[in-house]
Amino acid sequence: MLNIIGSYECKADAKGRVMVPAPLKKQLSSVVQEGFVIKRAVFQPCLELYPMKEWEEMMKKMGKLNRFTRKNNDFIRMFTAGVKVVELDAAGRLLIPKDLMSYAGIDKELVVSSAIEKLEIWDKNKYEESISVSPEDFADLAEEVMGKNFEEENGLS
């Protein structure tokens, strides 16, 4: 599994092309040739960029869902809505499709942020809003997500 690190402020040109920062490009060097999949995020008003291998792993999980269960079928349709295959061009730019730029409310300034095995692409202002929680709220969230339940689920208690 790929483990991507960092958040990077970038600018999109009028055509939606974004120069991938050199430190990020270096981290992605082993997967650039295979391409990427870009899609709408499920929980946030941003985009997700999956290296092709990570996308294929996700699709294996999705393929196990029973398609004769209506909710599964609806979920698959919504999860894959607007999905596009994208590549870095020779200049190291990523072309973000206009419909996805519009969905995420991205105009020019954006943030590309690591989310372990994938990247999130945000409008800069929306990203800043999404991470601006009080230290106490973050501490509560960290305890809830990574505290006792995490230990029990992973056999660490």
- pLDDT, averaged per 10 consecutive residues of the chain (157 residues), comes to 93 96 95 97 96 97 96 96 96 96 96 96 96 86 80 61
CB atoms within 10 A of CB 37: 20
Q: What CATH number does domain 7-131 carry, 3.50.30.30, 3.40.1550.20, 3.40.50.2000, 3.40.47.10?
A: 3.40.1550.20
Q: In this predicted structure, what is the pLDDT of residue 3? A: 92
Task: Characterize the bridge pairing of strands 84-86 and 36-40.
Answer: antiparallel
Q: In this predicted structure, what is the pLDDT of residue 155? A: 64
Q: In this predicted structure, what is the pLDDT of residue 27? A: 95
Please choose, from the candidates 54, 23, 22, the residue with its C-alpha nearest in 3D space to the C-alpha of residue 36: 54
Q: In this predicted structure, what is the pLDDT of residue 138? A: 86
**Model-level pTM?**
0.89
